[in-house]
Structure 1
Amino acid sequence: MVRRFRHILGLLAALSASGVQADFSHSGSLKNQTVGSRSLVDGDPYLSNLTRLRLEPRYRQGNWTLEAAYDLELLTGSFLDSPEFAMLKTAPDPRYWTLQDELHDSGDLVARHQLYRGTVQWRSPIGDFRLGRQQVNWSTALIWNPMDILNPVSPLQLEPDERIGVDALLWDRSWGATGRISAVHAPQDSSENASTAARAKRFFAGVDAGVMVGEFAEVTKAGFSGSGSVAGTGWRSELVWSEPDAGDSYWQGVADLNWAFRNGLNLAVEYFYNGKPVSPGTTGLANLVSARPLYAGRHYAGLLVLQDINPFWQYRVVAIRNADDASWVLYPRSTWILPLSQEIYFAAGAQWFGGDQDSEYGRLEPLG
């Protein structure tokens, strides 16, 4: 374990040693998350408790910036005995560098740590270069994200702000006053899963438009995104064409209308087209270990409601309907921030599913 983590420890030591410099900063957080549900395999109830300590040092000198986010996690509960956890333990990790490992594993406790983010950035005359574990998100939509190729996330993810990092080299530079050009290479765990892509984005004629093309894990992709506003109504769209090395080509697309009201209420409706549906019986368990979200239907409708009630209370509701089999999801989540000098917040949420037993969402068990 020491050999595998020597580069992590060296990076953290270098950042810590730089604390004498005026441009060193750090932050941290402690999070506890408890989830209860039933196994989709044997039907037994389970409880999962996750405690995560995150340390985030940052060092800047001249044109160089080093940033890291180190996680130490403790996982307890009957979820450790579930078939779902056994699948997660044996699932391959596609990331290129081994920057994660288990410290302890027993029937009652799993302790693990990882470098959630870790990058070195150089601001050069020809653009910004960033190397390391990072998030590269080229999507603009709110519920479904076909353009988010390297850090895809499911709309049902329990931690919406947490995205698995990709080990990559990213180049990015401005294009005029309102545009940017980016290129990325992510080697992943094997040459077959490597990704190389480029994107250009620019604002003109009232539209924030972008185009993307690249090779993503043996799939050639090309996509377009756009967003703007007309008469107080915002809109977003994404359209991505994919051609696997083995298999037929397909399309995925999103169309979105959104509104922001003076009372802090934000409302969005989205339509998602999925040109590569899978069997409804495979999505529940397969999404646990898949590198990207899987969908059983072709046509989906979504509703997102988000509001800051006051500076200390926010709620978020996501509702999804599979128009092909009429199954649905309701995912409310509320966050409260205590009015203290140290930021402390509580969040509570649940996921309810409905539909026939053989439908995509009707076969899933509630989460809370």
Structure 2
Amino acid sequence: MKGFNKAILTIVLLFSVAAASAQEGKKPRNWTLNGHLQDLGTVWIQDWDGTWQTMNQIKNRFDFRWYPGSFSVHIGMRNNITYGMMPKLYYPYMADLAVVDPSYLDMTRLIGKDTSYYMTSNFDRFSLRYATGNFQATVGRQRINWGINYVWNPNDIFNTFDYFDFDYVERPGCDAVHLQYYTGATSSVEAAIKIDSRDRITLAGMYRFNKWNYDFQFLGGYMTGDYVVGAGWSGNIKGAGFNGEMSYFHPEENFGDTSGVLVGSLGVNYTFRNSLMFQFAGLYNSDGTTGPAGMGTGFFIYREVSAKTFTLARYSLFGNISYPVTPLFTASLASMFNPGDNSVFVGPTFDVSITSNIEFMITAQLFFGDQGTEFGDYGKLAYGRLKWNF
């Protein structure tokens, strides 16, 4: 709790300094503050003939950035009020899971809860960056983005994101030290180390470069008990985007045997002249099963994915089509398929821009399959979101 109070005090001091700088009126403002406020409604239908479970979430985010010379500070804060039928039915489990912070520093707090609501606050960015010439170093809670693929990122070993968590567009961060040196206009060397809440270490280095109009990357290191090597690329073929990434994980405890796991993904995307866009992706996991790959409904409520375990399936396929019907209205349809157990996810989305900074979205996550399959136990979820960006 003391660490969290210190973080709050730091926020207050930074805002005070920023406000004082703005009042001087003699220098250009060297800080920014933006974020969003939104209302997200959810309906969960496990059985069409059963009870339709509902909940509502009021979410707020602040992103404060300060640029004092060669240093820069980024503090991102999320606040959430969740209430309705679902928090009541799953009390106190939803509230308890909402404050699980997987990072080394516990910067998530439960502000209040009762049998039908809970309030949380979380710092998902809290970092200091120093840059000079071609070198920069970042310390603190940050996002280390080593992934390339739109859906599955085997190279993203520091802070893997979950595709189904569509409302978290900023994506999770981690408590880490990240060093970068740009060896050229399109090449760099990076090294990073992080520690999580269970004192597990992830340490790796990466080399990026451009060749034949393709961006390539190679990495090697250690991820929470596994040695890892990986590679990725991004380019285009005949105007279509083409990317891929793969990582090989080998357990530290069984270094001499063949128990390693290979995870790889491929992606293709193409946009027509009328702005109609197609995206396709595939995932392979050598440790995955070709049979039922279900994890139960509890896993969907609290999904903890990693670059090694996006899914229990050996093969996964993804497709998405998106089209701006008007400049203010976009419709899209995404789908995921497990060929091993024939379960399917379908996700239609309709997004309307009401003003330049207010948008309304309706989306659904529809899961189909037999019981015990990857998508067979989740039912159907529908969402409505009104969001104001500032």
Aligned to 1:358: 372
In the TM superposition, 1:101-250 aligns within 5 A as 101-125=109-133, 127-159=135-167, 161-191=169-199, 193-246=200-253, 248-250=259-261
From 288, 294, 304, give the equivalent of 1:290: 304
Q: CA deviation at 1:258?
A: 1.5
> Is the Cα–Cα contact under 8 Å of residues 84 and 285 in structure 1 kept in the other structure?
no
Q: Secondary structure at 1:79's aligned position in 2?
A: helix
Quote the offset at 1:198 in angstroms: 1.1
1:38-117 map, 5 Å: 38=45, 45-83=52-90, 86=93, 89=96, 92-117=100-125
Residue segments in structure 2 that go unaligned for 5+ positions in a row: 22-28, 383-390
Q: TM-score, normalised by structure 1?
A: 0.91
Cα distance in 2 for residues equivalent to 1:151 and 1:333:
26
Structure 1: distance between partners of 2:91 and 2:380:
15
The number of residues matched between the two structures is: 362
Cα distance change, pair 143–294 in 1 and its aligned pair in 2 (3 A): closer
Report the equivalent of 2:41. 34
Q: Which amino acid aligns with 2:159?
A: N
Q: Which residue of 329, 332, 347 maps to 1:313?
A: 329
Q: Distance in 1 between matches of 2:239 and 2:134?
A: 38
What's the counterpart of residue 331 of structure 1? 347
Given that 1:36 and 1:46 are in contact with CA atoms closer than 8 Å, whether structure 2 keeps it comes out as yes
Aligned residue type for 1:309: V
1: CA distance, partners of 2:105 / 2:252: 25
Residues 235 and 148 from structure 1, CA distance in 2 versus in 1: closer, same or farther, beyond 3 angstroms?
Answer: same
User: Equivalents in 2 of 1:187, 1:224: separation in Å?
Assistant: 23
Tell me, yes or no, if the aligned pair for 2:152 and 2:310 is still in contact at 8 Å. no
Deviation sequence 1:82-121 (CA, Å, 0-9, x none): 4496167258532111111011111122111111212111
Q: Secondary structure at the match of 1:163?
A: coil
Per-residue deviation, 1:319:
0.7
Q: Quick one: percent identity of the two aligned structures?
A: 20
What amino acid sits opposite 1:133 in the alignment? R
Greater relative CO (CA pairs within 8 A, separation 6+): 2
* Gap change, CA 1:236 and 1:80, over 3 Å in 2: same
Normalised by the length of structure 2, the TM-score is: 0.86
The 2-side partners of 1:183 and 1:198 are apart by 4
Judge conservation of contact 1:39–1:82 (CA < 8 Å) in 2: no
- 1:25 aligns to what? 32
CA 1:151 to 1:252, structure 2 compared with 1: closer, same or farther past 3 Å? same
Instruction: Measure the CA separation in 1 of the matches of 2:41 and 2:253.
Output: 41
2: distance between equivalents of 1:88 and 1:149?
Answer: 27
Shift of 1:11: 2.2
Per the alignment, residue 284 of structure 2 pairs with 273
In structure 1, distance between residues paired with 2:17 and 2:113:
34
Contact 2:61-2:79 at 8 Å conserved across structures: yes
Structure 1: which amino acid aligns with 2:260? S
Q: Is the 8 A contact 1:93 1:189 kept in 2?
A: yes
Superposed displacement of residue 224, structure 1:
0.6
| 1:5 counterpart SS class | helix
Q: 1:306 to 1:134 in 2, by over 3 A?
A: farther
CA contact (8 A) 1:39 1:84 kept: no
CA–CA separation in structure 1 for the residues paired with 2:285 and 2:58: 35
CA contact (8 A) 1:181 1:198 kept: yes
Task: Note the residue ranges of structure 1 that are not aligned, 5 or more in a row.
Answer: none
* CA shift in 2, pair 1:84/1:336, >3 Å: farther
Aligned equivalent of 1:262: 273
1:345 corresponds to which of 344, 359, 367: 359
Structure 2 letter corresponding to 1:49: N
Q: 1:284 to 1:244 in 2, by over 3 A?
A: farther
